[in-house]
Amino acid sequence: SLDLDVSTDGVLTADTHLVQSWANLHALKQDGARTVIVAADGAFVFDSEGNRLIDGIGGLWCVNAGHRRREIIDAITTQLETLDFYSTFYNFTHPPAAALAAKLAELAPGPLNKVHFSSSGSDANDGAVRILHHYFNRLGRPAKKKVLSRHGAYHGSTHLAIAMTTPGYSEGWDRAEGLVHHLRCPHYWREGDGMSEAEFLDALLDDLRDTIERIGAENIACYIAEPIMGAGGVIVPPEGYHRAMAAICRDNEIKYIADEVVTAFGRLGHFFASEAVFGVQPDIITVAKGVTSGYQPLAATILSDEIHEVVSSPGGMFFHGMTYSGHPAGAAAGLANIGLMESERIPERVRTSGRRFEAGLRALGDLDMVGEVRGSHFMMGIEFVRDKADKTPFAPEELVGLKVAQAAQKRGLVARPLGNILILSPTLVMDDATIDRCAGILRESIAEVA
Ligand code: PLP
């Protein structure tokens, strides 16, 4: 147990005023069931009933360095005592924002050397597109505005970010129409339709080429992609897919945005996955979550020198930025978090510990109810099926993912259900016994539900 004074008196009563995010609000109103998380330490969280749970979702794919890290907490506190707030508007700057921008430029691949800060992954992606629209205006090509995204993508929930997200995530909600075109989802197991993986890859590339031909490269500003799709179900694309997609984009002067909100800062064993894991040099990388390990809300849109050169050329203003762009406490958290990751070699260690986690989960593939175990390192998904042979899914109302997640939580592991899929994106600091315990709990939980 944790030696902390955590009062939960009145939380659930007061909670009737809190609008939960991404939740079935009606169901919450009916039964009111909540998990109240009151404290956290290392790889674990504590609920209001006094249970210690393995944080199998790392907060929300973000607490990469683990909870309650003294170095990050102290850096934030010291920063607040020195300079609580100043903006990065006009010609104002301050040491933590400047230092974090320099650090990100050092770590990001190739010519990605210019950093614009924001507060969330959604607004980092939103900003990436706005900046590219302005970039093409500056180049005298104002028609080059459309965005290519993909079915299965998750890029956030601002109006623009949700338009780039897979359409299924805005049923019943309005979306900005006409700007974004969704390409095929690169999920071979579900979408491969009897093709070999190489044939499936060709089909995906043809889809991109056909879409460019239909819309016209002169009308397309950018393509946005997560190296591994996260909230769309942890989809790892076929080998060579990102490199080939990037080459087609380059040939058509379509800027490549890598959404590394989840994949950066160690989750796949590197500070950034685009180049190190997938061999791609994007024009823009967006990050959030793991950049501060979730200790402060901070995100960044990291631009190539070339894009920055155009938007900073004479003759226009950079009309973009939020009050909290580069917040001192967020920037201090980012610097301390990255410092800790470097001194403890967290990304390097994930190359071993993440593989152990992945192997433990992959072994669950022998269970009847498990259709596919997919992902990489500390970014994994398990898809449950009614019939393994023909991949027949469970009906949504059977709530299979939710039932397995509840069974796992009862046994001490927080996992995230997503329809028939269970997502695991834990902290990157579990010891081997805890890593192995995750697979053990999942095996028992799936057996309970089967
Ligand atoms: N991009 C990806 C890949 C994400 O997974 C998320 C959030 O889960 C976002 C963007 C949006 O980030 P935020 O929730 O901080 O706005």
pLDDT value at position 14? 65
Final residue belonging to a domain, choices 286, 313, 343: 343
Name the H helices within 139-217.
159-164, 188-191, 197-215
Taking each helix axis from N to C end, the angle separating 328-343 and 346-362, rounded to the nearest 10 degrees, works out to 80
pLDDT value at position 5? 74
- Mean pLDDT, the chain, whole residue set: 96
Final residue belonging to a domain, choices 302, 326, 343: 343
**Do 440 and 419 share a structural domain?**
yes
CATH number of the domain that 406 lies in?
3.90.1150.10
CB-ligand 1 contact for 122 (6 Å cutoff): yes
Domain of 96 in residue numbering reads as 72-343
Global pTM exceeds 0.90? yes
pLDDT value at position 15? 67
Atom of ligand 1 nearest to the CA of 297: 15
33 closest CA partner among 379, 409, 327, 297: 409
In tens, the pLDDT along 184-202 reads 999 999 999 899 999 999 9
Q: What is the largest CA-CA distance in the chain?
A: 65
**Do 280 and 297 share a structural domain?**
yes
- Name the residue with tokens 């190190």: 276
Residue to substitute in 261, 287, 416 for testing ligand 1 pocket (most ligand atoms within 8 angstroms of CB): 261
Spans of the chain, pLDDT less than 50 = none
**Do 326 and 205 share a structural domain?**
yes
CB-ligand 1 contact for 231 (6 Å cutoff): yes
21 closest CA partner among 174, 146, 156, 136: 156
pLDDT value at position 11? 73
Residue nearest to atom 13 of ligand 1 (CA): 121
96 closest CA partner among 391, 384, 336: 336
**Do 399 and 290 share a structural domain?**
no
122 closest CA partner among 267, 289, 249: 289
- Name the residue with tokens 């009614």: 386
**Do 240 and 97 share a structural domain?**
yes
In a domain, 400, yes or no: yes
**How many residues does the structure list for the chain?**
450
In tens, the pLDDT along 197-217 reads 999 999 999 999 999 999 999
**Do 428 and 319 share a structural domain?**
no
In a domain, 3, yes or no: no
CATH number of the domain that 107 lies in?
3.40.640.10
Side-by-side strand order, sheet with 44-47: 37-41, 44-47, 52-55, 413-414
Atom of ligand 1 nearest to the CA of 119: 15
